[in-house]
């Protein structure tokens, strides 16, 4: 196993590994690299949906996404992200997932551990990959806050809502996704999380808010809440906190959903195929809930 650091705060590439043949020691090495780097890319894998699920489950229990439209037909824990089309013209997978800053599953009542995205096809133009994914370090962002702001946000809690990002994509990005049904809204109601979480593995304090799902801060007047969230959103995506992942076919990219927020860059056409498989790993409630995470 060869580990190469890629960014200042986030990002490492791992070579020389077959994730389908890892013993416990090999997986422990990957898990350590994941905690150390927040985002890791394991090179040169070729996993079908069942094999991706088998590997993903080593990190924890998996989410079945509330939207059934682009689940793998045989393996519901896998979502397909793709701009390829079926013969009837419909997309094979979600063509525009994640094109705005967010933390996956922050709309769950228990924060998620990680997401895993496996690249089967990467769009190319003039020999260069398209569709990068950007990440921002939430531990670095918290550490860089001035002490007065750190004190101000300690103990504050905010509402996260699945519908916020979904409706944004329809309203602002002309997404082909359908409006949420009443059943989907009932399945994912708004939840409340602290603005500052202590990471359950690394112990570092992380800013736990994101433009995609965080709606308002409890206990503040609407104008004060909006102003503070806008300030935090501007701060957390400053250039010095960012890592930009340039995809390779075969990458298995794993990112920490407390230590990072992320955004898909997009920028490719339908004739520049992108096809990826995604799993999302839930947080163990014994580690990821309540006072165990608070500052």
Does the annotation mark 88 as catalytic? no
Instruction: Verify whether residue 104 is a known catalytic residue.
Output: yes
CB atoms within 10 A of CB 251: 22
Which entry of 160, 262, 274, 275 is annotated as an active-site residue?
A: 262
Question: Is 102 labeled as catalytic in the residue annotation?
Answer: yes
The answer to whether 3 and 12 have CB atoms below 8 angstroms apart is: yes
State whether residue 121 is helix, strand or coil: strand
> In the chain, which ranges are E strands?
2-5, 12-15, 39-42, 79-82, 114-121, 124-125, 128-129, 133-137, 157-160, 191-194, 196-198, 205-207, 214-217, 242-245, 252-256, 260-264, 275-281
Helical (H) or strand (E) element with 223: helix 222-236
Catalytic residue among 118, 120, 199, 278: 278
Q: What is the SS3 assignment for 168? A: helix
**Active-site annotation holder among 72, 104, 161, 256:** 104
Strands (E), 208-258: 214-217, 242-245, 252-256
Catalytic one of 9, 13, 72, 102: 102
> Which residues are identified as catalytic?
102, 104, 262, 278
């Amino acid at each position: 196993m060869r580990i190469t650091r890629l960014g200042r705060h986030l990002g490492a590439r791992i070579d020389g590994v077959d994730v389908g043949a890892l013993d416990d020691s090999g997986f422990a090495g990957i898990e350590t690299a994941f905690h150390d780097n927040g985002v890791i890319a394991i090179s040169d894998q070729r996993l079908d949906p069942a094999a991706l699920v088998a590997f993903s489950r080593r990190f924890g229990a998996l989410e079945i996404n509330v939207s059934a439209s682009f689940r793998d037909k045989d393996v519901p824990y896998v979502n397909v992200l793709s701009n390829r089309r079926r013969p009837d013209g419909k997309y094979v997978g979600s063509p525009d997932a994640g094109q705005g800053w967010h933390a996956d599953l922050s709309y769950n009542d228990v924060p998620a551990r990680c997401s895993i995205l496996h690249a089967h096809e990467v769009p190319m133009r003039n020999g260069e990959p398209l569709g990068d994914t950007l990440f921002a370090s939430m531990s670095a962002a918290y550490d860089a806050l001035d002490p007065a702001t750190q004190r101000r946000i300690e103990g504050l809690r905010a509402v996260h809502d699945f519908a916020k990002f979904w409706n944004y994509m329809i309203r602002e990005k002309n997404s082909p996704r359908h409006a949420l049904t009443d059943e989907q809204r009932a399945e994912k109601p708004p939840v409340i999380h602290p603005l500052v979480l202590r990471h359950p593995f690394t112990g570092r304090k992380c800013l736990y808010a994101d433009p995609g799902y965080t709606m308002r801060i409890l206990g503040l007047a609407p104008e004060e809440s909006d102003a503070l969230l806008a300030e935090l959103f501007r701060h957390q995506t400053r250039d010095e906190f960012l890592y930009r992942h340039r995809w390779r076919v075969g990458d298995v990219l794993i990112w920490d959903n407390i230590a990072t927020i992320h955004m898909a860059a997009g920028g490719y056409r339908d004739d520049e195929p992108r096809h990826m498989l995604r799993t999302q790993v839930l947080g163990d409630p014994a580690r990821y809930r309540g006072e165990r995470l608070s500052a």
